[in-house]
């Protein structure tokens, strides 16, 4: 991970960005009072699962810990227990805290000051699955056969105590060091590989592109390209497994909220085939787009451009609610299965409702009125908060890119052309060092080729950088 530190004098511009994008600020006094009162209430008694040695795996410094897990080997398979923070145990339906959560939709992460979905007294303390603390959770017990396929699902409320808190780096190091073959981390790697294979077999896809991230270091803010560790993929597979199990429960019960994505149309796939030919990448006609995308190597310039173009196939994600018949479009095309967001209720509003509907469905009970009543508005609330969060993330990256490059206008850099516009009047280049993606002016640009570019503009106030071919 390479970093380019910049000065923290960017803080006034970050503050202006919050105002521009209408990122929520402080919670109302009424919402804070409700949160404080809920945090001091005794934990409601429930099925006691405090003997399960759960662990959490999160980025360093995280305090809003939504999930904890424990894996064990069965005679002919595996048992995954996944504990999810029970936000419904703290938030009263229709109260000030609930109304504010609906207005926010999700946590928005900004350098130095995130805008949380819930007050930190809950999200980073009383409801968070911090180690050695008793917490109310929605506890999933997911039994898999020896091939990693889901055999049985059971979910209910429980009382737990997480034992260990690991970062991704720490978890990855333990997996690589080996140790007990039946430890949760060893089994996480074992089950993760099986679930990844199942995902491939059913036609699911993941775009293997390095993420551009803004991080905070001793020298201020820094921009990095960050590739995912294997353990992050394994951890994600447990989350996806839970979301798939939740979707099945809700579809069977006749009420729910699903995360959906339409399948790509033939026109988009044909466009990508033409792009592959232009980049000199072999794509046999008998190979589906899922297998083709998985074959790409982000470390090769032409493949990096192809991966960026492939994002066109993964658009249109949304939420579908239903009571009675399932919606016409109820699958998530990128996962190739029905799926629901369930594993981040401290940071995402919709998960609280999917969890509640899953618990009642598993118990054979009807959903509570407060959950059903909120369903119709959830898709637009989540779409609006998603647009705001995406705009904030992109704007922060743009701001940091411009600040990094402002002193270097006129310099030349090695880059890869990863996108061109349809009219042949420009495109996008990806630099390796510094880790920047910017606009390239020019006609008939060679998509996927390595080029030398000259930085012509780096406007911090407009958050915009521009290059020309050197």
Kindly report, residue by residue over 2-48, the tens digit of the pLDDT.
Answer: 445 456 667 888 888 888 988 999 999 999 999 999 999 877 767 99
Q: Considering the domain boundaries, does residue 389 fall inside one?
A: no
Say what the pLDDT of residue 247 is.
Answer: 98
Number of compact structural domains in the chain: 3
pLDDT of residue 49: 96
211 within some domain: no
Residue 123 and residue 244 in one domain? yes
In this predicted structure, what is the pLDDT of residue 44? 72
pLDDT value for 211: 72
> How confident is the model over 122-138, as a mean pLDDT?
97
Whether 421 is in a domain gets the answer: yes
pLDDT of residue 2: 40
DSSP secondary structure code for residue 348 in this structure: B
Q: Are residues 30 and 155 in the same domain?
A: yes
Report the mean per-residue pLDDT for the chain.
91
Task: Indicate whether 294 belongs to any domain.
Answer: yes
The arithmetic mean of pLDDT across residues 215-244, rounded, is 86
What is the β-pairing status of strands 150-167 and 54-58?
Answer: parallel
Decide: residue 147, CB within 10 A, 0-12 exposed, 13-18 middle, 19+ buried.
exposed
Q: Averaged over 215-235, what is the pLDDT?
A: 81
pTM of the full structure: 0.91
Domain that holds residue 44: 23-206+224-262+317-382
In angstroms, the CA 470 to CA 426 distance is 14
pLDDT of 1: 34
Domain co-membership, 359 together with 421: no
Predicted local confidence at residue 373, as pLDDT: 96
251-272: per-residue pLDDT in tens? Answer: 999 999 999 999 998 888 998 8
Tell me the average pLDDT across 432-448.
86
The pLDDT of residue 182: 72
pLDDT of the residue at 209:
72
Q: Looking at residue 202, what is its pLDDT? A: 93
Mean pLDDT score, 270-287:
89
pLDDT for 43: 75
Do 295 and 324 lie in a common domain? no
pLDDT at 250: 98
The region of weakest confidence among 188-202, 307-321, 415-429, 448-462 is: 415-429
pLDDT score of 227 more than 80: no
| Same-domain check for residues 57 and 174 | yes
Statement: residue 366 has pLDDT above 50 = yes
* % pLDDT > 70, the chain: 96
* Shared domain check, 299 and 156: no
Domain of 462, CATH number, reads 2.40.50.140
pLDDT of residue 210: 67
Q: Are 92 and 98 in contact (CB under 8 A)?
A: yes
CB-based contact 458:405 (threshold 8 Å): yes
Span of 23-37, 159-173, 355-369, 444-458 with lowest mean pLDDT? 444-458
Task: Indicate whether 335 belongs to any domain.
Answer: yes
Q: Tokens at residue 247, please?
A: 């979707």
| Mean pLDDT (whole number) for 61-90 | 96
Task: Mean pLDDT check: name the lowest of 14-28, 66-80, 115-129, 151-165.
Answer: 14-28
- Taking only the tens place, the pLDDT of each residue in 292-326 is 998 998 878 888 888 888 888 888 999 999 999 99
pLDDT mean over 430-446? 86
* Same domain membership, residue 41 and residue 115: yes
Tell me the pLDDT band of 56, cut-offs 50, 70 and 90.
Answer: very high
Co-location of 308 and 429 in the same domain? no
Residues facing 224 on adjacent strands: 213
Same domain, residue pair 170 and 292:
no
pLDDT at 443 over 60: yes
Using 50, 70 and 90 to split pLDDT, how confident is the model at 218?
low
Non-local CB neighbours of 89 within 8 Å, separated by 6+ positions: 43, 44, 127, 136, 157
- Full 3-state SS string of 381-428: HHHHHHHHHHHHHHHHHHHHHHHHHHHHCCCEEEEEEEEECCCCCEEE
């Amino acid at each position: 991970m390479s970093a380019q530190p910049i000065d923290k004098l960017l803080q006034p511009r970050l503050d202006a960005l919050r105002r521009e994008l209408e990122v929520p600020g402080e919670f109302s006094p009424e919402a804070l009072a409700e949160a404080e009162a809920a945090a001091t209430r005794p934990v409601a008694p429930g099925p006691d699962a405090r003997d399960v040695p759960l662990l959490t795996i999160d980025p360093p410094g995280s305090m809003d810990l939504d999930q904890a897990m424990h894996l064990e080997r069965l005679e002919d398979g595996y048992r995954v227990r996944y504990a999810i923070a029970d936000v419904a145990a703290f938030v009263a339906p229709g109260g000030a805290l609930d109304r504010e959560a609906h207005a926010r939709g999700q946590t928005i992460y900004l350098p130095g000051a995130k805008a949380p979905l819930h007050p930190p007294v809950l999200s980073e303390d009383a409801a968070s699955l911090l180690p050695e603390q008793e917490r109310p959770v929605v506890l999933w017990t997911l039994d898999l056969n020896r091939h990693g396929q889901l055999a049985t699902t059971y979910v209910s409320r429980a009382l737990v105590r997480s034992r260990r808190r690991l970062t991704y780096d720490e978890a990855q190091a333990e997996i690589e060091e080996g140790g007990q073959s039946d430890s949760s981390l060893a089994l996480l790697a074992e089950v993760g590989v099986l679930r990844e294979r199942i995902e491939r077999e059913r036609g699911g896809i993941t775009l293997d592109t390095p993420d551009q991230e803004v991080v905070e270091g001793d020298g201020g803010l820094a921009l990095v390209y960050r590739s995912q560790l294997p353990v992050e993929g394994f951890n994600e597979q447990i989350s996806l497994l839970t979301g798939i199990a939740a979707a099945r429960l809700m579809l069977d019960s006749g009420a729910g909220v699903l995360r959906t994505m339409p399948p790509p149309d033939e026109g988009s796939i044909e466009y990508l085939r033409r792009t592959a030919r232009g980049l000199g990448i072999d794509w046999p006609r008998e190979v589906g787009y899922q297998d083709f995308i998985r074959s790409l190597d982000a470390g090769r310039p032409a493949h990096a451009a192809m991966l960026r173009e492939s994002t066109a196939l993964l658009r249109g994600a949304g939420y579908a609610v239903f009571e009675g018949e399932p919606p016409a479009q109820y699958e998530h095309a990128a996962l190739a299965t029905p799926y629901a967001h369930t594993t981040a209720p401290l940071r995402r509003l919709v998960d609280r409702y999917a969890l509640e509907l899953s618990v009642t469905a598993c118990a054979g009970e009807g959903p509570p009125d407060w959950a059903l009543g909120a369903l119709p508005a959830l898709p637009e609330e989540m779409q609006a908060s998603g647009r705001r969060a995406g705009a904030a993330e992109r704007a922060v990256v743009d701001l940091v890119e411009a600040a990094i490059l402002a002193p270097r206008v006129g310099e030349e850099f090695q880059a890869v052309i990863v996108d061109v516009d349809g009219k042949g009047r420009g495109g996008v280049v990806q630099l390796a060092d510094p880790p920047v993606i910017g606009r390239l002016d020019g006609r008939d640009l060679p998509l996927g080729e390595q080029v030398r570019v000259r930085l012509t503009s780096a406007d911090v106030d407009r958050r915009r950088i521009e290059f020309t071919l050197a």
